[in-house]
């Protein structure tokens, strides 16, 4: 759908928006420029400005395309309907890690993915402060600043899950089902750690620096880019029902990200989750 020049242009657009809308406000946000949308869910003037800029530039690059952005969905959940339609869709999280950004912590990313008919086609994960860009195109592999990414080797099934590194979100984001799953996993001796934003976590997984992750929410803007990056690095993602992640939602949660299907299924079994959509 995108030629090589357009793929390169998307990366340029993301860098431009980072330079004009995100970095100039980093560490300089004023009173009233940080708002709490819900408990622990922040949005800043930079989130809104960068999403608007990305929306305009990406639509211009691919005429007829739609956009599903985090802030647009917050204003109108009907925006999500584009994920089930026939048109190409840009999926945007303008600042993944807004809490870090608002507190002048440089660990935040810009997430952009392109999908059509529920299939992920391309993805970009950008760290504006450090200038690092990860990207993937379906069937073309995953890269970080030009270097090929590969997931960690799958653990030996004979060893079970003991000492397998598994990351998840911080406890304040867990609901009852997530808490049950993580408690069950801990009895299998996994090496549990807390991630620091979905974008950063997916790059870490795709680079083989961590083996698995248990994801407890399904916001498509958090996961679309990372799922393709991880898949193109050789990884697998499965919902608690053992099915692929569905961009339009309704997934059985938590879902797992792993080096291979066998490890993903072992994690699902060990977590002992009840199959069904997460309320």
Q: Which domain holds residue 115?
A: 4-148
Model pTM score: 0.95
**Domain's final residue, options 123, 148, 173:** 148
7-27 residue pLDDT tens: 999 999 999 999 999 999 999
78-99 residue pLDDT tens: 999 999 999 999 999 999 999 9
Confidence of residue 252 (pLDDT cuts 50, 70, 90): very high
182-208 residue pLDDT tens: 899 889 989 989 888 999 999 999 999
- The structural domain count of the chain equals 2
- Whether 14 has a binding-site annotation, put simply, is no
Please state the rounded mean pLDDT for residues 256-272.
Answer: 95
Same domain for 162 and 265, yes or no, is yes
Q: What rounded mean pLDDT belongs to the chain?
A: 94
Give the CA count within 13 Å in the CB-facing half-sphere of 271: 33
- Whether 93 has a binding-site annotation, put simply, is yes
Please state the rounded mean pLDDT for residues 62-80.
Answer: 98
Q: Which of 47, 18, 52 is nearest to 35 (CA)?
A: 47
Residues near 71 by beta carbon (within 8 Å), at least 6 away in sequence: 43, 47, 48, 51, 94
Residues near 217 by beta carbon (within 8 Å), at least 6 away in sequence: 169, 173, 253, 278
pLDDT number for residue 273: 61
Same domain for 115 and 9, yes or no, is yes
| Separation CA 148–CA 202 (nearest Å) | 14
- Whether 222 has a binding-site annotation, put simply, is yes
- Whether 95 has a binding-site annotation, put simply, is yes
Q: Is residue 197 part of a domain?
A: yes
- Whether 4 has a binding-site annotation, put simply, is no
pLDDT number for residue 277: 42
Tokens of 89: 């869709």
């Amino acid at each position: 759908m995108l030629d090589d020049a357009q793929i390169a242009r998307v990366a340029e657009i993301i860098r431009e928006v980072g330079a004009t809308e995100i970095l100039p406000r980093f560490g300089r946000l004023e009173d009233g420029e940080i708002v709490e949308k819900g408990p622990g869910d922040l949005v800043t003037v930079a989130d809104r400005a960068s999403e608007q800029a990305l929306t305009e530039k990406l639509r211009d690059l691919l005429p007829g395309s739609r956009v599903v952005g985090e802030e647009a969905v917050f204003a109108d959940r009907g925006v999500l309907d584009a994920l089930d339609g026939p048109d190409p869709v840009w999926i945007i999280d303008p600042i993944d890690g807004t809490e870090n950004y608002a507190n002048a912590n440089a660990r935040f990313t810009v997430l952009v993915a392109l999908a059509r008919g529920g299939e992920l086609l391309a993805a970009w994960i950008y760290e504006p402060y450090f200038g690092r860009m990860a990207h993937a195109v379906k069937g073309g592999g995953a890269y970080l600043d030009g270097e090929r990414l590969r997931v960690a080797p799958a653990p030996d099934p004979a060893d079970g899950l003991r000492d397998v590194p598994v990351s998840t979100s911080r406890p304040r984001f867990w609901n009852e089902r997530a808490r049950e799953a993580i408690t069950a996993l801990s009895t299998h001796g996994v090496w549990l750690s807390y991630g620091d934003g979905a974008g950063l976590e997916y790059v870490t997984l795709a680079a083989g620096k961590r083996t698995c992750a248990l994801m407890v929410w399904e916001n498509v803007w958090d996961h679309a880019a990372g799922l393709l990056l991880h898949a193109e690095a050789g990884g697998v993602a499965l919902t608690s029902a053992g099915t692929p992640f569905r961009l339009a939602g309704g997934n059985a949660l938590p879902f797992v990200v792993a080096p291979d299907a066998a490890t993903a299924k072992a994690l699902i079994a060990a977590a002992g989750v009840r199959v069904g959509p997460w309320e």
